[in-house]
Homo-oligomer: A and B are copies of this chain.
Amino acid sequence: MAKIDRINQKILHELLRDGRLPNTELADRVGLSPSACLRRVQELERQGVIKGYRAVLDPVALGNGFVAYVTVGLSDHTKAAQEGFERSVARYDEVRECHNITGTVEYLLRVEAEDLVAYKRFHTDKLGTLAQVHQIVTHVVMGSPKDERA
C-alpha cells in the first residue's frame, strides 16, 4: 500500500520543512514534472501518509508565553477513570497535547498558557478539580533547542 520510494521520501522531507511549498517548486526539487509530483502528493494524502497541513504559530506572539510539560497520575487505573480524564483535558484549550505513557504516572500533557498566573489558574481551577487526578508534576519549558513538532 504505502510504498515510500526515494522520491516520495524527498517529497515528505520537503513538505515537512515547508508545507506551503508550491507544487512547481516541489516538483523541481525532487526532479519531477509538476503534474507527476502533484499526483504523488495527492496519493500520499489519500493514503493518509500526509494527514494534513498546519501553520506553525509563535506561542509568545499569540500571548502564550508559558509552556510546560505536566505529568499526571490518576488515583485509580480503571477504564472509566481514564476516559473521564481524557474527556476533560480534551475540553481544556490550554492542553495542546495529551499522551498516555508508560512509567510511574499515566499521562504527559503539554500545556500552553499566557503566563505563570494563567497557568496557576489552569492548575488549580481545572486540573486540580478533576476527581480522577491524584498527582500533578509541572515541568516548565525554559527553552527548546530542537523542536520539529508537526
Residues of A participating in the B interface, judged by any CB pair closer than 8 Å = 2, 4, 12, 15-20, 47-58, 61-63, 68-69, 86, 89-90, 95-103, 108, 110, 137-150
Contacts and interface: CB of A to CB of B under 8 A. Distances in A.
B96 A148 contact: yes
B147 A97 contact: yes
Given A47-B61, A89-B146, A101 B141 contact: yes
Contacts of A16: 54-55, 57
Contacts of A147: 97-99
16 contacts: A12-B55, A16-B54, A49-B61, A50-B58, A51-B56, A51-B58, A52-B55, A53-B56, A54-B54, A54-B56, A54-B150, A86-B146, A90-B145, A96-B149, A97-B149, A110-B149
A99 B150 contact: no
Given A89-B146, A96-B149, A139 B53 contact: no
A108 B150 contact: no
